[in-house]
Structure 1
Amino acid sequence: MIRMDADKPIKTETGPAHVLTMEDWSVDAIHKLLEKAQWFADHPEKLPLQRLYAANLFFEPSTRTKLSFEAAERNLGLDLLHFEADTSSVIKGESLYDTVKTLESIGADVVVIRHDRDRFFEELTEKLNIPIINGGDGCGHHPTQSFLDLLTIRQEFGTFSNVNIVIAGDIFHSRVARSNLDVLERLGANVYVSGPKEWMGDELEKRWLPMDEAVETADVMMMLRIQHERHTVKMAAGPDEYHKRFGLNEEKAARMKPDAVIMHPAPVNRNVELADTLVESDRSRIFKQMKNGVFVRMAVLRHVLEKQKGCLNQ
């Protein structure tokens, strides 16, 4: 096995050894990963790997990310080492490192981790011999969500160049927004934000659009839910007021470009950031994003295991 002794993940033109943030990925490596994900989407037959084990460590609630990783792992023929934080030694005070090191010791070949602590992975990468995939860290990063968003946009438009993307909602607390803002711009998209200005930060001021302008500008309206669990101060506006001022309703959606689409990482707070009638509308790509999540996570898993094992090339 490859020993990860560097302070940071190994970064090459074929992608990093761990999947932690989108910042670690070059544009060429992003396109190669998306091509691999598209290959899985186009070929329903499975490609089992040699007998390998995956462990999913989710310390925060999750439906889509956790289950799509499990589906991706099973599609690739991986065996799962089941882990539940509430019934593990974590409740006895075991550290994250000791938990992951235990799983490595009993045979895990790759670990997927979601944690409420920003950049939890910094204490792990140089001490482990197996790759880590970040399933979401606090308000930090969510690279596999970003990859599935990228795949969905590329399928829709065939390019990122000059595609107008508006990320709207609780930007400050969103790891999805943080992962997408920079990478979309690096890929050639025009990226804007909308929503309450107090959730933006000064560095996003030049990107901000009021919702009335945002809906007419966007090729993609990427709506975000309010991250209530990460707020230290309760939001002043109630759900109805938020929906009226910052949400996407039918009246606003009617002013979108004919080919513009709606995206959302889910779960959706219906009739708060997005009208109930729009969630499954013709413009919506929300459930397509979920489907793409399996293909992307298959590609990510295969990528890290190929780099680790060196013998799993397609």
Structure 2
Amino acid sequence: MRAASATAADADRPLRALTVGDVAEPVVPDGWVSVEVRAASLNHHDLWSLRGVGLPGDRLPMILGCDAAGITPEGDEVVIYPVVPDERDPRGLSLLSERYPGTLAERVAVPRDNLIPKPAGLSFLDAACLPTAWLTAYHMLVTRGRVDVASSVLVQGAGGGVATAAVALAVALGKTVYATSRDQGKRDKIEALGAVPVRPGARLPERVDIVIESVGAPTFEHSMKCAAPGARIVVCGATGGHLATVDLRRLFAMRLELLGSVMGMLPELADLMDLLVAKDIRPVIDSTYGFSAVADAFAHLESGDVFGKVALDFLH
């Protein structure tokens, strides 16, 4: 079967570590099932794997990919939840493509308990964009950020998968949403989603109840200054640098909550899909590639010139 794999690690030029070609069919342990992949999507996690971050040499080659939707041997249309119990990992779990082969293959083996029925209202491509970036954004807003008691949200660095998902979800939930980007084209797309585009570091018309933070050091001071009393600053990453300065006086004086967030739980993925169908929301897809062009898809993701998800259609 065809698959896209990390066969080496290259910190500076990760695409040189990518190999696309035939691999063996997946091994299916007891309690697992082989899913025929119909659509998948890329994440920056895949680029980090190609750089060797979190994927040591003794696990290579490794099929990449966390996100996919497909069909079971029984003919059921399903979405794959990518978090797998893993006693060998200090966290007690791992993502597909870390210890177990990932989703960028014609077939992938996953625990049967990790399968969620795909709603009829979502296409395979839409569903394949949800399990990592959109679930992370949903968990940040709903579970960690308690968006139900918020009226306003700031999303830093909109353009990437998580940030763009957070914008779309917060708007759909009826919140006033501000989102930053250095790029005018991306600010125009932010406005088209129903949010207020903001230049990085610019003063907002109001202080917000939730800040969605995935950039880190370059934006963190702005996030702190934009937070209303009692606000939640929810952090899921640090793409711009992890050594941010925190003004502790503002933290305690404004009674701010600084919250770490990683992924989300399987029931939340089901709730997220129900929300998308009920609100008629669809993932923001920057571009779609056939599997034969998966290397081009990776190159596009690495370029940074992306707004939303980069998806793969396995039927083309």
TM-score range, shorter chain: 0.3 to 0.5
The TM-score with structure 1 as length reference comes to: 0.43
**Which structure's residues are more often helix, by fraction?**
1
Q: Which of the pair has the greater relative contact order for Cα pairs under 8 Å at 6+ separation?
A: 1
